[in-house]
Amino acid sequence: CEWRGVTCDERKNVINLILPNFGLSGKLSEKISKLEALETLDLSSNNMKGSIPSEIGSLSKLTYLRLCYNEFTGQLPSQLGDLQHIELLQLHDNRFKGIVPSIKLEKTRFNESSFIADCGVPSVFDAPLICLDCTMCCNSKSEC
């Protein structure tokens, strides 16, 4: 576990993947669920595409998820609602559509920036994302 952006615990389980602005591209694999001890996943400001795999909901220790500023598309998986310990969820500046699943955040130190999605107007779509639990909505002009 001596890679930049990767932190492991004493048992060599990956607990943090902090890779913002790493020039990453491609899709987020469903194999992300194999990282059972993962607490932090930050893939923000890369060139990630495709949909968010439903398997992400099985990351029971995940507290911090930043997927903003990428090119993710499609519906957000309902399994995001299974993240029982999530404190920060930032999904804005992607191309998601539809309804953001109901997600209840743990008490958080991040305040209003704790749950952000593209639910503002104007939207890149005919209708913005519907997000009842978001603490902040951004629009297609990156205004939040």
pLDDT tens readout for residues 17-59? 999 999 999 999 999 999 999 999 999 999 999 999 999 999 9
3-state secondary structure of 80: helix
pLDDT of residue 110: 58
Residue 139 has pLDDT above 90, yes or no: no
pLDDT of residue 109: 62
- At 84-123, the pLDDT tens digits run 999 899 999 998 988 898 888 876 665 656 888 888 888 7
Residue 7 has pLDDT above 90, yes or no: yes
Q: How far is CA 117 from CA 5, 31, 41, 59, 114, in A?
A: 24, 24, 17, 20, 10
Q: Residue 35: which of 74, 7, 69, 76 has the closest Cα?
A: 7
CB contact at 8 A, 126 and 106: no
CB contact at 8 A, 46 and 72: no
pLDDT of residue 128: 77
Q: Residue 39: which of 67, 60, 10, 69 has the closest Cα?
A: 60
Q: Residue 68: which of 95, 87, 50 has the closest Cα?
A: 95
- pTM attached to this predicted model: 0.92
- Greatest CA separation for the chain: 49
